[in-house]
């Protein structure tokens, strides 16, 4: 999920956080949330689940995609391999990434 820079948080910094807490070769379940303020980051943009076996081509929010291969082996960056581009409203300026292991 290379969402560039959002409020000073770059995707490479997220990779660094993952590297310090997880083996960067271990795929994780990941959810990207968005919201207009820091205390209302509740809209799911995409969820990557290890148990999901097929990807779908969508641009709507709330998509569920496979997590297989979502953590890169070089730097631990998070990748959505479906190739989808999600239409996040411009009013959503805050983002939160949730990640957990297991199915």
Nearest to 6 by CA among 29, 24, 33: 33
Element (DSSP H or E) covering residue 18: helix 11-21
Question: For the chain, which residues make up each domain, given as ranges?
Answer: 5-100
Q: What's the CA gap between 82 and 70, in Å, rounded?
A: 10
**E strands in 13-80:** 29-35, 43-49, 63-66
For the question of whether the overall pTM of this predicted structure is more than 0.85, the answer is no
Average model confidence (pLDDT) across the chain? 76
| Per-residue model confidence (pLDDT) at position 89 | 84
Nearest to 30 by CA among 99, 93, 102: 99
User: 9 or 81: whose pLDDT is higher?
Assistant: 81
Q: What is the mean pLDDT of residues 26-51?
A: 90
pLDDT tens digits along 44-86: 999 999 888 889 898 889 999 998 887 776 666 788 888 888 8
């Amino acid at each position: 999920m290379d969402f560039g820079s959002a409020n000073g948080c770059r995707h490479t910094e997220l990779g660094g956080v993952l590297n310090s807490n997880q083996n960067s070769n271990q795929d994780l379940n990941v959810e990207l949330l968005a919201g207009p303020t820091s205390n209302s980051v509740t809209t799911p943009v995409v969820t990557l689940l290890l148990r999901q076996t097929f990807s779908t081509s969508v641009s709507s929010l709330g998509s569920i995609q496979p997590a297989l291969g979502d953590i890169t082996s070089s730097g631990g960056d998070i990748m959505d391999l479906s190739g989808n581009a999600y239409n996040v409203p411009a009013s959503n300026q805050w983002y939160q990434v949730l990640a957990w292991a297991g199915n």
